[in-house]
Amino acid sequence: MLETIAYAAAILAVVVGTLFSIVGIIGLVRLPDVYTRLHAAGKVSTFGVALLAVAAVLAVPYAWSRGLLLIVLVLLAGPVVSHVIGSVAYRTGVPMRGAVRDDLAGRISPASRDAVRAMHEQEQV
């Protein structure tokens, strides 16, 4: 009985996690700029992967410690990586499409922006 409930919950987690991942992929393709695409890819796909890991933990109970560790690492690393990519995109001057306001406009110095560009050009050589 308990095994049947665990498998049913695993199937539900797979379905919901897959739906989250599909929404993230659609957002990655359809959204207009790097910042909104990062939101779709970072937030939605993080929960999609976490739910798929929950399904694996429920379906294979003897691997719960590895599964929970994976879930914690994905939930911690996903938003941090998205933030870093967005920050680098902003600092290198990737434009926002249809931005209503820019709260960081006066906070990022041109010297910082030029340093990031120089590092990027140096890596491509």
pLDDT tens readout for residues 73-100? 999 998 899 889 888 888 888 888 877 7
User: Which spans in the chain are helix H?
Assistant: 2-30, 34-39, 45-59, 64-91, 110-124
Per-residue pLDDT band for 116 (boundaries 50, 70, 90) equals: low
Rounded to whole angstroms, what are the CA distances from 44 to 20, 31, 68, 79, 93?
Answer: 6, 14, 19, 10, 25
pLDDT at residue 16 in the model = 94
- Do 91 and 111 meet the contact criterion of CB atoms below 8 Å apart? no
Given a cut of 80, whether residue 121 has pLDDT beyond it is no
Q: CA 78 to CA 63: how far, in whole Å?
A: 22
pLDDT tens readout for residues 28-71? 899 888 888 888 888 887 888 899 999 999 988 788 888 899 99
Nearest to 26 by CA among 43, 12, 40, 7: 40
**Against a cut of 0.75, is the pTM above it?**
no
pLDDT at residue 113 in the model = 63
pLDDT tens readout for residues 15-28? 999 998 898 889 88
Per-residue pLDDT band for 14 (boundaries 50, 70, 90) equals: very high
